[in-house]
A and B are shown apart, each in its own frame.
Chain A
Amino acid sequence: MNVFMYMNQYQRKVSLEREIIQLLRQRDKQGVTLLYQNYAGALFGIISRIIQSQEIAEEVLQDVFLKIWDNFDKYDAEKGRLYTWLSQLTRNLALDKVRSASYRKKAITDGFDPALSRSEQLAESLYMEDSGLRKVVQSLDKNYSELIDYAYFKGYAQSEIAKELGIPLGTVKTRMRSAIKQLRRILQHELMILVLMILWC
């Protein structure tokens, strides 16, 4: 893709974003339609990696849109782009749902472990597919590689890692940041995000 095409696409994206923001600020439902058309898939993807039940994932998507609609005045363009805010909101709602009683109930009836994120299910296959990445991770300092191993390959949350390794959560966080720092030196930007996305969930 040459520079002009990229710029064109970029500009289109920016103006679309601006339009959606304006419409939602005015509480114009056309804004919701545009929002849905452009972002629903990405947001549903985020939800689906956290929520194991399709039914509940759909519920959460509905909740997400309702929350966006109700709280759009809270969106601060200073802090970041539209998608950043949308994805953070989505992730938080999904995680709240996971911790809810209804989700635990559903887990019993549908027969899955509510403590696991769906990405942990994926981790198994990822483990097989990303052996290249694994090698890279193993070349990191032992502390860091261990953390990433737990987070990426086993899908542990940071708090769970802290518990597992018997270290304070703060330490886990600090080390995680350093690990990422090291990784950055090794990986390209996009791949970095890939890792982060897995760690995130």
Chain B
Amino acid sequence: MDINKYKESGILELFVLGSLSPEEEQQVLQHLKQYPALRAELEKIEEAMEAYGQANAITPPPNMEASILQQLDPVEGQVPPKPEESLPGSGRRINFNVLLTGIAVAASLALLTWGIFQNTQLKQQNTQIQALEDNIREMETACALETQQKEKAELLLALYKDPQTRPIELSGTDNAPEAIAGVLWNPNQQKTYLDIANLPAVPSNKQYQLWAIVDGTPVDMGVFDLVIGTNGDTFIEVPFIEEPQAFAITLEDQGGSQQPTLEEMVVYGAV
């Protein structure tokens, strides 16, 4: 057989392309066995084919590789050969029972740990909440106080501005020559305020008492303590009375007395 002619016939190309009938293919295989030169030629053709195929390759979409591999999974189990045997390379015969138990144990442990963690967290959170609530209460109290003081300050301001307000100065007596007190008396608003800023301190068993002289008679206006407001507020509100002629403060026993102890008068001022 003329090898060159055989080559030139193009039959090897057609063989590579798979275009020959089974009989023709068999013939070619026979010839390939007989003539190594033909085999070499065949290899060249195959290489050229592959080179051409690679040169004209089109990259499939990126997700294809994963779907193809996934697709092969179920097929695996259906392979006829020996289910008992496990090939060294493949090792895919997993004992599912062991695996499931393992997973269950791991899951339980995880759940338990998580549960404990959650509990600790919860306790922490409760403590935090308590602290926050306490804080809020404190702030509310402080806020209320502030509001009170603000209101008082506003009142006093209004009082001062009001032309109807009569300021009465109570000057110190011989008992306390340096003492001064002030009264803001407003018949319009029906309010009376006493400024206690410059009154001397009181012995522990005594208390100051305010009197208003009306129709020549002293009227009890109540006892008070020298408590100065947090913002330096020295005014205390006292009962309102119509047509006072004078105001006086005496030092009495704790709780006050029905009649003023005139010897213990500290300040006095006529309206």
The residue of chain B having its C-beta at the shortest distance from the C-beta of A54 within the complex is: B61
Evaluate contact between B76 and A87: CB separation under 8 angstroms: no
Evaluate contact between B52 and A177: CB separation under 8 angstroms: no
Contact of B52 among A27, A178, A197 (CB under 8 A): A197
Evaluate contact between A58 and B72: CB separation under 8 angstroms: no
B110 at the interface (CB under 8 A from A): no
Contacts of B54 in A (CB 8 A): 41-42
A-binding segment of B7-15, B152-160, B261-269: B7-15
B89 at the interface (CB under 8 A from A): yes
Known: A69-B72, A184-B8. A194 touches B52 (CB 8 A): yes
Known: A33-B69, A45-B57. A180 touches B52 (CB 8 A): no
Contacts of A62 in B (CB 8 A): 64, 67-68, 71
How far in angstroms is the closest Cβ of chain B from A96? 14
Contacts of B18 in A (CB 8 A): 84, 88, 91-92
How far in angstroms is the closest Cβ of chain B from A48? 5
Contacts of B29 in A (CB 8 A): 78-79
Contact of B50 among A70, A81, A178, A180 (CB under 8 A): A81
Which residues of A in the span 19-42 have a Cβ within 8 Å of any Cβ on B?
Answer: 23, 26-29, 32-33, 36, 40-42
A123 at the interface (CB under 8 A from B): no
A127 at the interface (CB under 8 A from B): no
Contact of B57 among A42, A181, A190, A196 (CB under 8 A): A42
Contacts of B47 in A (CB 8 A): 81
A148 at the interface (CB under 8 A from B): no
- A-B residue pairs, 3 tightest by C-beta: A41-B57, A180-B10, A42-B53
A83 at the interface (CB under 8 A from B): yes
Contacts of B65 in A (CB 8 A): 33, 36, 40
Report how far A45 CA is from B72 CA in the complex, Å. Answer: 22
B48 at the interface (CB under 8 A from A): yes
A-B contact pairs, 13 of them (CB 8 A): A33-B69, A40-B65, A49-B56, A58-B64, A61-B60, A81-B43, A83-B49, A91-B18, A177-B10, A181-B9, A189-B45, A192-B13, A197-B49
Report how far A15 CA is from B49 CA in the complex, Å. Answer: 19
A200 at the interface (CB under 8 A from B): yes
Known: A41-B54, A78-B29. A65 touches B68 (CB 8 A): yes
Contacts of B105 in A (CB 8 A): none
Known: A29-B72, A32-B69. A58 touches B50 (CB 8 A): no
Evaluate contact between B11 and A41: CB separation under 8 angstroms: no
Which residues of B in the span 24-80 have a Cβ within 8 Å of any Cβ on A?
Answer: 25, 29, 42-54, 56-61, 64-65, 67-69, 71-72, 75-76, 79
B16 at the interface (CB under 8 A from A): yes
A147 at the interface (CB under 8 A from B): no
How far in angstroms is the closest Cβ of chain A from B58? 4
Known: A83-B46, A84-B16. A48 touches B90 (CB 8 A): no
A185 at the interface (CB under 8 A from B): yes
Report how far A26 CA is from B79 CA in the complex, Å. Answer: 12
Report how far A62 CA is from B50 CA in the complex, Å. Answer: 20
B17 at the interface (CB under 8 A from A): yes
B1 at the interface (CB under 8 A from A): no
Known: A45-B57, A80-B42, A189-B44. A177 touches B72 (CB 8 A): no
How far in angstroms is the closest Cβ of chain A from B113? 35
A193 at the interface (CB under 8 A from B): yes
B175 at the interface (CB under 8 A from A): no
Report how far A46 CA is from B51 CA in the complex, Å. Answer: 13
Known: A27-B90, A87-B53. A44 touches B60 (CB 8 A): yes
Report how far A91 CA is from B19 CA in the complex, Å. Answer: 11
Report how far A2 CA is from B136 CA in the complex, Å. Answer: 86
